[in-house]
Every structure is written in C-alpha cells, then in structure tokens.
Structure 1
Amino acid sequence: MTAVPVRVTEKGSKTKTEWNTKALGQRMAVDAACAATAGGLVAPVISMIDNRAIIENASGRRPMMTSLKASLNTLLLRPHRFFTSRPFALIFMLYSGTYLTANSLDTFKSTVNARPASSTTSGPSKFAATSVANLSLCLYKDSQYTKMFGAVSPRPVPPVTYALFAVRDCLTIFASFNLPPVLAPHLPLSETAEQYVSRASAAQFLAPAAIQLLSTPFHLLGLDLYNRNGGTTFSDRMRKVRLDWFKSSIARMCRIVPAFGFGGIVNNGLRQKFMKGIE
C-alpha cells in the first residue's frame, strides 16, 4: 500500500511525513530500463541525421544527403559496425542519460512527496535536472562529433562554441520536458480522457520540433566558429548560417521527433505501464 503524508498537529508534537518507498529498487530499475530502451530506439536515426549529416554539411566535408546515404548503407549492410561505432555509442549515452535523469527525478519526487510511483513532474526542478544532464552529455558528444566530422584537423573546441551549443540545448530541453504538459490542455481537441492522451502525444511531438527553428542558428554558428577559426567576419558567418538554416532546421526536426517526440513517448509510456504494475 502506498504511503501517504501523515501530519500530527497536537500541541508540542512535530509534523511527520512518511515517504512512498514501496518497491523503490524495482522502480529505479524500471527507470533505467525504460531510459535505455528509448535511447536505443532513437540513437540510430539521430546519429545519422542530426550529428554526422548536419556537421559534415556545415563543414563542407560532403553534402547532407551523401552523408545520410553513407550512414544508411553502413546500418543496412554492416550493422555490427554501425552499432559498435563511437558515434552511435555517444548518441545512446546522451539520450539514455537524459531520459534516466527525467525518470529518476520523477521517482525521487514521488518518493519524498508520497505520490503514486507512476506520477510525473514538469516544474523548474525537472528543467534544471534534465538540462544539466543533457548539457553535460551533449557538450561532450558535440565536441567529439565536431572533431570527427569537421572540416579542419581536430583542435580544441572554442568556449564560444560550447556556449552556443548550451543555448541550443536549453531551448530544446525546455520544449521537450516542460512545454508539452503546459501545451497539451490548450490543443483544440475534446476533453475526454482518451483525447487527452492524444493531446499529450501531439504536444510531445510539436513543441520540441517547432523550437528547432529557433535553436538551429545557434548550432550552425557554433559549428562555423570551429570550422572557420579566424579571418571571417560576423556577417560572413551569419550569411553561412542563413544559407544552411532551413535544411538544417528540417533535418533537426526530423531528428528531434524521434529524440524527444517518439523517444519521450516510448520512455513515458513504458514507465507509466510498469510503474502502475508496481503500484
């Protein structure tokens, strides 16, 4: 039976609150398994689209479609090489870690607030926790991808590039974990329980995809600052960003739908199912 808060109000006594610690070990295992499942499902697409193709296109190393075809050929003809490659491992680490952070925070909140195991949160604490996890993992991943697929010999990634990547990721995290619960009730669908699930799913797809129109320029400018270290004016850099903005935004939307749309739904859906079983 789930523990609930118990408050004693007699004079001279202290307020006592019980925690919901039922099957806490199983709940933590569910959090990890759901995060790994969702991360494994989205990593192949993301490693091909968002990182290698966009970075190689931005650096001029090879066109986006050529890069995508090369990655797809490796996935289909030599899958063992694809799934054991460093690019795939970096993406799996990034998204599994981000999902696990979100899941663990929900479990922590449900424990200390004596709420059902399947409950979720959407406030500042989730934004802060998922942002820290995603930023740290993503900055490491981006530094490796930029060196692997950039136009110049590997060199230290400049701090300004890290800063631009951080702004990009904060926008995406906010739109992926905080906006959907806020946006869902305002979508123009009926108020039945079944339709609310549809609204929640629609919001989970729409919010992170739409934010790419704003976040992609930060991504492209950061890459340009790495690939063209000096002798380039700011106007030249912005001209390059404008040139690549639309197709890169579409590519990042195609990546963000599996990453925080499909992946988020899989992670949340599996967690809800197994946590309700534990309850």
Structure 2
Amino acid sequence: MKESSAVEKPLAAAPAASPIPMPSKDAVEMPSSKLQQQWNTKNLGLRLGADFASAASAASMVAPLIAIIDRSIMENASGRNTLANSLKSSLGQLLSRPHTILFSKPAALIFMLYGGTYLTANTLDTATSTVRSEPASHVTTGTTKFAASSAANVGLCVYKDQVFVKMFGPGGPPRPVPLPSYVLFTLRDCFTIFASFNVPPLLGPVLNERMGAALQKKISGTTVAQFAAPAAVQLLSTPVHLLGLDIYNRPASGGVSWGDRWTQVRKNWAISTAARICRIVPAFGLGGTVNMKVRRSLMEKLS
C-alpha cells in the first residue's frame, strides 16, 4: 500500500491556564473596613449605658411631683376630692413622710412612664448615630423619633392611666377602661410627645436667632423651647384628657349626654390645664432638659 505523503503534525499543546488570582489581604478586609467607616460603634455598650443613666436620673427627679399632680387631677375630675385639697394632702405627706410618696405605686408608675419614654428617645438617637456614623452626642428629629417616642409613651401612659383611674376614680369596684377613653388618652399623648421631642430642636434655632448674645449666654433657645412647647400644647390636650376621664367616671349606661360631658370638661378645664402645665413642665421641661444635658455630657466623654 502506498504511504500517504502527508505528514501528520502533532497536536499543539493547549496553552496553560493562567492561575486564578488570589484576593489580597487588603481586598479580603475591605468589607470590614468599609463597614467600620459607615458605622460608628465606638464605646457602643457604654453609650447605651449612658442612655439608661440619663433617662433614669431625669425620671427619678420628676416622678414624685407628677404622681401627686396626676392624682389630684383625677380625684378632682371624679368628684372624689378637690384638686386643692388633694394637692395639700399629698404634699403634706411628702414633707412629713417622704418615703410613702417616693416609694409608692403611683411614683413607680410615673418613673416607668417617663424613664421608658426618655430611654426610647435616647436609644433611637444612639442607633441613628451608630448607623449613620454620627458623633455619639448626635440628636435626631423627625417622623421616626416621633413614632418611636409616641409608641413608648402612649403604651406606658395608657397602662398608667388605667391603674390611676381605678385607684383615684369615683370609688366602687374597678371597671374596665372603655375604648373611647383609650383613644382619647392616646391622642392626648401624641400632642404632648410631638411638642416635647420634635418641636424644641426645630424651634430652638429660631429662638436663638431672635435672642441677643448676652441672653444666649444665660439660656439657649432650645432650653426655652423645651419648657414652652410642652406647656403650651396643654391648652389643646387637657380637654381631650378630661373627656377621656369623664367617659370612665360616668359610663354611657348612666344616660350621660355629650352635652353633659362637655359641660363637665369646661367646668374643670382652666384649673386642670394649670395643673397639667405644672405637671408637664417637670415631665418634659425639667425632665427633658436633664435627660438631654446628662446624655450630652456623657456622650461627649465617650466620643
């Protein structure tokens, strides 16, 4: 057989696959370093402790007085006692036997209410400063803070109110608090929370612009707003509060008309508004200022 003249050429060797480049150490660590740049986690545990300490110190200062005022408003609304006599009796007890007020159930409920509200606002500020890499002393405003603070305050305050109305109501066996009272108490607290946490940071700079430099050295516009805004909103929230109390004190089954209820609200509006302003100034004025300043002082040391 005749051999083929074509010479078979060997197959060319396939080119060697280039090695897969291994990520460098810097590339592996990039997500972690990037996360550290985006989140401010410095002294996070201590910052949360500062949130609690500032909330507790503010709540402990205001709880006894607010408990006394709340009791007097509820006893006056229920006809159980006059507001003046209730205040006189409780304040006398505070001076002669302070432990019976300081460690009472009403004072503990008020401490729980405002301590929980301040703590919610504080921890939200800390969470925001952590996620957005802001300084530890950063304070937020806006819808999120309003919603979180309102949820905490309303939940705790509704629980406090249903205990208080049973303790200081018209007497007789305690009754369930009706739903309309809960709704009105919730609306009342939303007014107060908005005026206490959202208005001062917005109103403070406006007041600073209108205050002279000499006056600003003595008191800041934010401090003025912290006291004035929660007090002013009581003109609107007090009738809502009194109507909620009247619905509990005089059930609809008793044949009470809405006209009768508004007559009762108007009757107690002026004195109750004055008492609630005296109550709200320590609650969100003094308490809010103490909470804000203690927290800022602690956070500046932890930054």
- Using structure 2 for the length normalisation, give the TM-score: 0.85
Contact 1:184/1:196 (8 A) holds in 2 = no
CA RMSD of aligned residues (A): 1.8
Residue 227 of structure 2 corresponds to 205
Q: Which residue of 2 aligns with 1:268?
A: 292
Question: Residues of 1 paired with 2:143 and 2:108: CA distance?
Answer: 30
Which residue does the alignment assign to 1:26?
Answer: 46
Letter in 2 for 1:258: P
Unmatched 5+ residue regions in structure 2? 1-29
Matched, 1:40 2:64: no
Spell out, residue by residue over 1:48-107, the C-alpha distance to the aligned partner (whole angstroms, 9 max, x if none): 11x100000000100001101111122111112212211010001000000000000000
Q: Deviation at 1:193?
A: 10
- AA at the equivalent of 1:165: F
Instruction: Show the 5 A alignment for 1:89-108.
Output: 89-108=108-127
**CA-to-partner distance for each residue in 1:133-180, whole Å, 9 max, x for gaps?**
000000000000000000042110000000000000000000000011
On the 8 A contact 1:41/1:263 being kept in 2, the answer is yes
Aligned to 2:273: 249
> What SS class does the counterpart of residue 116 from structure 1 fall into?
coil
Among candidates 185, 191, 194, match of residue 165 of structure 1: 185
* 1:134 equivalenced with 2:153 (yes/no): yes
Tell me the amino acid that sits aligned with residue 220 of structure 2: S
Q: Within 2, Cα distance between the matches of 1:116 and 1:243? A: 50
How far apart are 1:257 and its partner, in Å? 0.5
Q: Please give the alpha-carbon distance, in whole angstroms, between the structure 1 residues aligned to 2:243 and 2:286.
A: 28
Shift of 1:186: 2.1
2:171 matches 1:149: no
Counterpart of 1:232, as a letter, is V
Residue number in structure 2 paired with 1:113 = 132
Checking the alignment, whether the CA contact within 8 Å between 1:185 and 1:196 is kept in structure 2 is no
Aligned pairs, how many?
Answer: 266
Does the alignment pair 1:184 with 2:204?
A: yes
1:167-210 Cα shifts (integer Å, max 9, x gaps): 00000000000011111122231368945961010000000000
**Aligned 1:7-22 pairs, distance under 5 A:** 16-17=34-35, 18-22=38-42
User: 2:8: which partner in 1?
Assistant: none
Distance of 2:219 and 2:255 partners within structure 1: 53
Equivalent position SS for 1:117? coil
User: Which of 86, 89, 95 does residue 70 from structure 1 map onto?
Assistant: 89
- Is the CA contact (8 Å cut-off) linking 1:54 and 1:251 kept in structure 2? yes
Equivalence for 2:24: none
Matches within 5 A, 1:204-243: 204-229=226-251, 230-243=254-267
Moved over 3 A (4+): 13-17, 190-197
SS in 1 for 2:42: coil
SS in 1 for 2:298: helix
